[in-house]
Structure 1
Amino acid sequence: MRGAINHEMGLPVLRLRSISNSVILVLLAWSLLIVNDCSAFPSPDRQSQRLLGTQAQSPAILFRDKPFTPGHRDPYDHRLDSVGQDLEPLPFRNGNGATFQGPRNRDRERQNPDLVRPPSTDHGNMANMRWSFADSHIRIEEGGWTRQTTIRELPTSKQLAGVNMRLEKGVIRELHWHTEAEWAYILSGKLRVTALDTEGGSFMDDLEEGDLWYFPAGHPHSLQGLSPNGTEFLLIFDDGGFSEESTFILTDWLARTPKSVLSENFGLAPEIFDRIPKSEKYIFQGSLPSDIKKERPPGFKKSKYQFTHKMLEQEPLRTAGGEVRITDSTNFPVSKTVAAAHLRINPGAIREMHWHPNADEWSYFKKGRARVTIFAAEGTARTFDYVAGDVGIVPQNMGHFIENLSEEEPLEVLEIFRSDKFQDFSLFQWLGETPRRMVADHLFASDKEAADTFLKQIQSAEKEPIKGKFSTEA
């Protein structure tokens, strides 16, 4: 009776040459399941097969259809996409827990299943590392808006602060400068930037989705929306205590300066300034710009610095699980205090276990859904779930991964750091470069077979930032 085992339907059914034998075996399997209470031992799903290999043929312990129930068992803490699978998270784990009886925010719970039912490996008292721009206050202006995530919204965001801004066509974020450096990524639409360097050189450029700019602290600049459908972008400042309200703005300064001083400064009669704005304009509808060459003022002196960069036009590092683009001072020289990586993680794939030795990671989730577990030493670990528009923090040197929860949708993430260089350490590479005996002594002292399998897997010792979807299927 030769055949192949097929777990697709949840039962180990043999494809046999004899139809009668097949029927007999199926009936026998069903009778055994009834005797042994199949509700306690459901058959393995594809995920557990991938992780357990041949072990997955033994009695399984995972419900795929009812994961948040008292009878559910999952000692391996598989990922669950409660949004994509339309599941209602409840605090049941491996036989423990109970239902909710009080008021609930079901939408928030579905976005954060690992807060409702944390993995069994979570432990300790770790601060919150997640914030959503959806929870940030929005300042609404003429033709645009702005909202921010700083240390006030997310206390763990100590090194960087983020601002999400939107400008309609022709709308200007007025001439201004900051105490902090400004790094930005265009999320959608087109934008014009202008700036002045410390040597009197002028800079102008038109940007689109995936492009960056960086203005060092104190450098005056402006932004204007060009896209018919508006322009939205993410601003990053190299101080978690930054506030968009503390910007140095042209109109605000002139409104707070005596007209007699303006007269002397510009060599004009004071009445010329009678009708200037009495307070800051901040974001306002401007006239539509023309071609950059026509916009250049008389005596235009081009800056020798390149304040913009086309990140998505970089040739990516392609891995089995997605693509990585890194932009820091090595390929964007002006960006001395902010480094970043753009990750595209394929469905079911994972940003490998790693840590950053030189800066906290400030992550912006642009698309998809993710699970991140942060290891903080001292037996402490905590898992967070993220959706598009969320911000995540991983403090410097804390181990973590980023897992795409979806089996269908790619995950896009920006990893951003207050540093001139992007640096990380790969757990896979570290163990592969460590003497084999020492690795075995650490992890598999009592299991030689597992040690041999593990050491063979890591022998390449090559970093692979995004791991492909693991499978033991033929």
Structure 2
Amino acid sequence: MSAFTRRNFIGTAAAAVGSFATLQKIAGADRSKSDPGPGSPPLDGQNPDSMWPPGTDSKSLVQNFKYPFSFANKRTYEGGWSREVTVRELPVSKTLAGVNMRLTAGGVRELHWHTSAEWAIMLYGTARITAIDADGKSFVADVKKNDLWFFPSGIPHSIQGLNPDGCEFMLVFDDGNFSESETVLLSDSMAHLPREVLSKNFGVGEQAFANLPKQELFIFQTDVPGRLEDDQKVAAGALGKSPTDF
């Protein structure tokens, strides 16, 4: 083979190899970097590394590490709404559960208690929180945006939205299996106790309980409360105020 022929052959072969490599890249890109759909561009844009993993990705399956409250179903009532994210929606969250709640002005999350401890941060507006400590003494306080509270396990408590536009807050519980749907509610407890037991406990006639709700309230609408000092005085009763600042 002449030198010219060898050079010609080498050049032609190199061009062919280069063209083939280019075609391979294009073909590969067409297969891996395309998604004919249908899809959800807004969600894809928020999760670019899930949509198109970086080159360092190990290609192994990983647990979902986030679940937006926007995906969670809202329980709506006259007086507000509630939605939650637990281990059922986010399997990786075994030790924490979250609840996002909104109350109108006057809207009440009725008195309730649960085995999980509750930490909270106010996201919007103002609210009045009420609790009863282990000695039966009361705690009543008003909270605003960025304020916090903490109710230990078993402490009965309630929350009410204040003027002008109620409140919204985030609750965090120390159990991934927690659910707001499984708390012990005052209305539900009273509905299941015999009237004679209630009458003896509160020292009033059975007729006083004739209009008790037949089912749980959870969240309900009522009037906006008056001055904080008045509520604190009434709640204190004979036992007085709780020394604990929740």
Q: How far apart in 1 are the matches of 2:170 and 2:132?
A: 21
Q: How far apart in 2 are the matches of 1:261 and 1:183?
A: 34
Alignment of 1:374-413 (within 5 A): none
Q: How far apart in 2 are the matches of 1:113 and 1:228?
A: 40
1:99 equivalent in alignment to 2:34: yes
Structure scoring higher RCO (CA < 8 A, sep ≥ 6) equals 2
Q: Secondary structure at the match of 1:147?
A: strand
CA distances 1:260-308 after superposition (whole Å, capped 9, x unpaired): 221222222222211111111111112211221111213361212111x
1:151–1:105 distance in 2 versus 1, CA, 3 Å = same
CA distances 1:9-33 after superposition (whole Å, capped 9, x unpaired): xxxxxxxxxxxxxxxxxxxxxxxxx
1:300–1:260 distance in 2 versus 1, CA, 3 Å = closer
1:264 equivalent in alignment to 2:200: yes
What residue identity is the alignment partner of 1:136? A
Q: How far apart in 2 are the matches of 1:178 and 1:184?
A: 15
Q: How far apart in 2 are the matches of 1:201 and 1:145?
A: 29
Listed as ranges, the gaps of 5+ residues in structure 1 are 1-69, 72-90, 308-474
What residue identity is the alignment partner of 1:260? E
1:305 equivalent in alignment to 2:238: no
Match of 2:213 in 1: 277
CA distances 1:234-268 after superposition (whole Å, capped 9, x unpaired): 00111000011111110110111121221222222
Query: Does the aligned pair in 1 maintain the 2:33–2:52 contact within 8 Å?
Result: no
What residue identity is the alignment partner of 2:112? H
Q: How far apart in 2 are the matches of 1:148 and 1:225?
A: 19
1:171 equivalent in alignment to 2:107: yes
What residue identity is the alignment partner of 2:153? A
TM-score, structure 1 as length reference: 0.44
TM-score, structure 2 as length reference: 0.83
Which of these two proteins has the greater Rg computed from alpha carbons? 2
Of the candidates 17, 30, 46, which is equivalent to residue 111 of structure 1?
46
Alignment of 1:248-397 (within 5 A): 248-295=184-231, 296-297=233-234, 298-299=237-238, 301-307=240-246
Match of 1:199 in 2: 135
Greater shift, 154-163 or 200-209, is seen at: 200-209
1:164, distance to aligned residue in structure 2 (A): 0.4
Q: How far apart in 1 are the matches of 2:166 and 2:245?
A: 25
Q: How far apart in 2 are the matches of 1:157 and 1:251?
A: 31
Q: Secondary structure at the match of 1:131?
A: coil
Q: Secondary structure at the match of 1:130?
A: coil
1:98, distance to aligned residue in structure 2 (A): 2.7
1:122 equivalent in alignment to 2:57: yes
Listed as ranges, the gaps of 5+ residues in structure 2 are 1-24
1:233 equivalent in alignment to 2:233: no
Match of 1:162 in 2: 98
1:167, distance to aligned residue in structure 2 (A): 0.2
Give me the identity figure in percent: 47
1:131 equivalent in alignment to 2:67: yes
Alignment of 1:2-151 (within 5 A): 97-123=32-58, 124-151=60-87
What's the C-alpha RMSD, in Å, of the aligned pairs?
A: 1.9
1:102, distance to aligned residue in structure 2 (A): 3.0
1:115, distance to aligned residue in structure 2 (A): 0.8
Q: How far apart in 1 are the matches of 2:185 and 2:106?
A: 19
* Structure ranking higher in helix proportion: 2
Q: How far apart in 2 are the matches of 1:127 and 1:299?
A: 53
Q: How far apart in 2 are the matches of 1:116 and 1:156?
A: 20
Query: Does the aligned pair in 1 maintain the 2:125–2:145 contact within 8 Å?
Result: yes
CA distances 1:338-383 after superposition (whole Å, capped 9, x unpaired): xxxxxxxxxxxxxxxxxxxxxxxxxxxxxxxxxxxxxxxxxxxxxx
Match of 1:466 in 2: none
Which 4+ runs in 1 deviate beyond 6 A?
Answer: none
Aligned length: 217
What residue identity is the alignment partner of 1:106? P
Q: Secondary structure at the match of 1:189?
A: strand
What residue identity is the alignment partner of 1:195? A
